[in-house]
Amino acid sequence: MPTTSSLAKIIPPTIPKHHHHVRFYSAPGDRAIPPAKQKYIPTSGTYPQGFLASSAHVGVKASNTRFNDLALIVSETPCSAAAVFTKNKFQAAPVTVTREMLQARKGSGVRAVIVNSGCANAVTGKGGLEDARKMGEETDSHLSGTHDGQGLSSVVMSTGVIGQR
């Protein structure tokens, strides 16, 4: 189980200590949601117990100077995961890295999902694969209990511009 201090580095504490059994979510940051999209955004509810979520602006794409472009979902304990992957011949590096991770772990011991927006990391060759693995490794490095000898424990996802690292 991750320590509070290790998770605080990644996920800012937004819930009072006495409410840890409830995870609230709301519309993104200070960004206004277009009226046509508001029906898709939950305004109240809870995350499943044992999961934490957060997002941040990290500057994935130079033209994005203020909107969150990195999302993180963390399971407080190792959990099971499954995925369906594209059969396209040109699969993005995060697809390849995540498929390999889930196969190596046989769908168990997964700790996090890390998602960037702004760079799809698709059609980027060996360098893109290295970047996707590094994204998973960096996420894992902030979570206790992820160094179990089975490799990555984070699902890596990317969306955005194709052909750029």
pLDDT per position as a tens digit, 9-62? 555 444 444 444 444 445 555 556 677 777 766 666 666 788 888 889 999 998
Which distant-in-sequence residues (6+ apart) come within 8 Å of 103 by Cβ? Answer: none
Reference 113, options 66, 47, 165; nearest CA is 47
Q: For 49-79, how does the pLDDT look when each residue is reduced to its tens digit (9 = 90+)? A: 888 888 899 999 989 888 899 999 999 999 9
117 has pLDDT over 80:
yes
Q: Which amino acid is at 11?
A: I
**What percentage of the chain's residues is helix, strand, coil (to nearest 5)?**
25, 20, 50
* 105, 153 contact by CB (below 8 A): yes
User: Which domains, ranges and CATH numbers included, belong to the chain?
Assistant: 4-11+50-161 (3.60.70.12)
Distance in angstroms (rounded) separating the CA atoms of residues 53 and 68: 13
Q: pTM of the predicted model, to two decimals?
A: 0.73
Residue 123, number of CB atoms within 10 A of its CB = 13
Q: What is the pLDDT of residue 43?
A: 64
Q: Quick one: which H or E segment has residue 111? A: strand 110-119
27 SS3 class: coil
Q: Compute φ and ψ for 119, nearest 5 degrees.
A: -145, 110
pLDDT at 100 over 90: yes
